[in-house]
C-alpha cells in the first residue's frame, strides 16, 4: 500500500512539473510568402504566443492561398479545414457588403493606430463579429481586427493635390475604392495586382492602388512610377484574426485573453516597424533624386475624405450590416476628431 501511495505521489508530482503540451493552430494569412510582414511576424511574434500562454498555444502561419483562396477562409474556419485566418477582409465584401466598410474605409482614417483603436477600444469588434456570424453560421470567433499600414500610391506623373486626380487613370479594385476615385474625378481601371508593374511601365495607368511603400519599393514599382504619394491618400486594408468557435471555446479563458492581447501587440509593433521601414525608404529615395515623394497637405486629405464619405454612404445602402458598420465608424471618427 505504501509503495502504491508513493507511486501515486510521484505521478502527481511529475504531472504538475511536466511542461505544458502546446496545441498548434494552423492560421492561413492573406500575406504572401516572403513579404516583410510575414517574415517579421514569424520571426518576432510567433514565439511570443507560446510564452504568453505558458506553452499551451502555438500558431503556424501559412501564406495566402496555401489551403483555400483568401475569400473562402471564413467558411474553411467554420468547417475546421483551417483553425483560423489572418486575412484582409476586403476579400469577403462579395459575401457581405459590411466587410467593404470594415475592411477598408477608403480615405477614412489618417493612421493605422486610429482604426486599430476602432476595433480594440471602440465598437469595431462587435459589428465585425456580427458580420462574421452572417457569413460563417456563427462558427468563427473574432480575436482581433485592424490594419498595420496605410498604402502608398505609386504614380507615373505628379499628383500633388486633390485637384490633380481629375482625369488620371488609376488602377483600383472594383467596389468602394473605385467609387471613391471616380467621385474624386479619376478614371478607375480594374486590372489584376500581378499586372500592376506592367501597366505602370507601359503607361496604361497613371497610378495604382498597390501596397505599403516598403512592399512597392521591393517589387520595383517606384522605379516605373517615381511620384509616389506617401503617406497614401486612400487604402488602409484591415485584417482579422479568427479561430474556429469550438477551438476557441476549448481554450482556457486566460489563453483567450492572451491571444487577443498578443494580436493587438503584434499589430501595433508591425505598424511601428513598417512605418519605420517606409520612412527610411522614402527618405532614401527622395535624397537619391530619382523618386519624388509627394505628401499631400492636410487640406487635400480632408477634401478627399469629404468626397469619399458620399461614396461610403452610397455603399452602406447595400445591406443593414453595412449601414451599421458605417454608423459605427462615423461615431468613432467623431470621438477622435476626424469627423464633425
pLDDT given at position 31: 86
pLDDT given at position 338: 86
Q: What angle do CA 170, 171, 175 make, to 5 degrees?
A: 105
pLDDT given at position 44: 96
The arrangement of secondary structure in 162-233+289-335, i.e. its CATH architecture, is 3-Layer(aba) Sandwich (3.40)
pLDDT given at position 36: 80
Q: Is 273 exposed, middle or buried (0-12, 13-18, 19+ CB in 10 A)?
A: middle
pLDDT given at position 326: 97
- The label of the residue with cell 506553452 reads 55
Separation CA 301–CA 110 (nearest Å): 9
Segment 72-105, tens digit of pLDDT? 999 999 999 999 999 999 899 999 999 999 999 9
Domain extents in the chain: 20-148+236-276, 162-233+289-335
Going from the first residue of the chain to its last (340 residues), give the mean pLDDT of each consecutive group of 10, the final group possibly shorter.
46 45 92 84 95 96 93 97 96 94 93 95 97 97 95 96 97 91 96 90 95 88 95 93 98 98 97 93 90 95 95 96 97 90
Q: How many helices (H) and strands (E) does the chain have?
A: 15, 8
Output the furthest CA–CA distance in the chain (Å, rounded): 91
pLDDT given at position 174: 83
Separation CA 230–CA 236 (nearest Å): 12
Check for a shared fold between 20-148+236-276 and 162-233+289-335: yes
CATH of 20-148+236-276, one of 3.40.190.170, 3.10.310.30, 1.10.490.10, 3.40.50.10420: 3.40.190.170
Query: Which distant-in-sequence residues (6+ apart) come within 8 Å of 29 by Cβ?
Result: 38, 61, 62, 63, 64, 85, 86, 87
pLDDT given at position 19: 52
pLDDT given at position 175: 87
Amino acid at each position: 500500500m505504501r509503495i502504491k501511495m508513493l507511486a501515486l505521489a510521484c505521478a502527481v508530482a511529475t504531472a504538475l512539473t511536466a511542461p505544458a503540451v502546446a496545441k498548434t493552430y494552423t492560421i492561413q494569412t492573406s500575406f504572401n510568402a516572403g513579404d516583410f510582414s510575414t517574415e517579421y511576424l514569424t520571426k518576432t511574434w510567433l514565439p511570443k504566443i507560446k510564452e504568453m500562454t505558458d506553452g499551451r498555444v502555438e500558431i503556424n502561419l501559412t501564406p495566402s492561398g496555401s489551403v483555400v483562396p483568401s475569400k473562402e477562409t471564413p467558411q474553411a474556419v467554420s468547417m475546421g479545414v483551417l483553425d483560423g485566418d489572418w486575412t484582409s477582409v476586403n476579400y469577403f465584401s462579395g459575401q457581405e457588403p459590411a466587410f467593404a466598410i470594415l475592411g477598408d474605409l477608403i480615405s477614412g482614417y489618417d493612421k493605422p493606430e486610429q482604426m486599430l483603436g476602432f476595433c480594440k477600444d471602440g465598437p469595431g469588434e462587435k459589428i465585425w463579429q456580427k458580420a462574421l456570424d452572417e457569413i460563417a453560421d456563427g462558427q468563427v470567433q473574432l480575436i482581433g481586427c485592424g490594419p498595420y499600414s496605410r498604402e502608398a500610391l505609386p504614380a507615373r506623373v505628379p499628383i500633388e493635390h486633390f485637384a490633380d486626380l481629375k482625369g488620371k487613370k488609376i488602377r483600383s479594385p472594383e467596389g468602394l475604392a473605385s467609387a471613391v476615385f471616380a467621385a474624386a474625378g479619376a478614371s478607375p481601371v480594374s486590372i489584376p495586382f500581378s499586372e500592376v508593374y506592367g501597366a505602370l511601365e507601359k503607361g496604361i495607368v497613371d497610378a495604382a492602388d498597390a501596397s505599403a511603400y516598403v512592399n512597392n519599393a521591393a517589387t520595383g514599382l517606384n522605379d516605373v512610377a517615381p511620384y509616389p504619394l506617401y503617406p497614401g491618400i486612400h487604402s488602409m486594408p484591415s485584417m482579422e484574426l479568427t479561430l474556429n468557435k469550438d477551438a476557441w471555446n476549448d481554450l482556457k479563458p486566460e489563453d483567450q485573453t492572451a491571444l487577443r492581447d498578443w494580436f493587438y501587440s503584434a499589430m501595433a509593433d508591425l505598424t511601428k516597424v513598417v512605418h519605420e521601414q517606409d520612412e527610411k525608404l522614402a527618405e532614401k529615395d527622395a535624397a537619391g533624386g530619382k523618386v519624388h515623394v509627394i505628401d499631400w497637405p492636410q487640406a487635400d486629405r480632408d477634401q478627399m475624405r469629404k468626397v469619399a464619405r458620399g461614396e461610403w454612404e452610397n455603399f452602406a445602402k447595400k445591406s443593414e450590416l453595412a449601414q451599421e458598420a458605417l454608423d459605427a465608424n462615423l461615431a468613432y471618427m467623431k470621438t477622435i476628431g476626424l469627423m464633425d
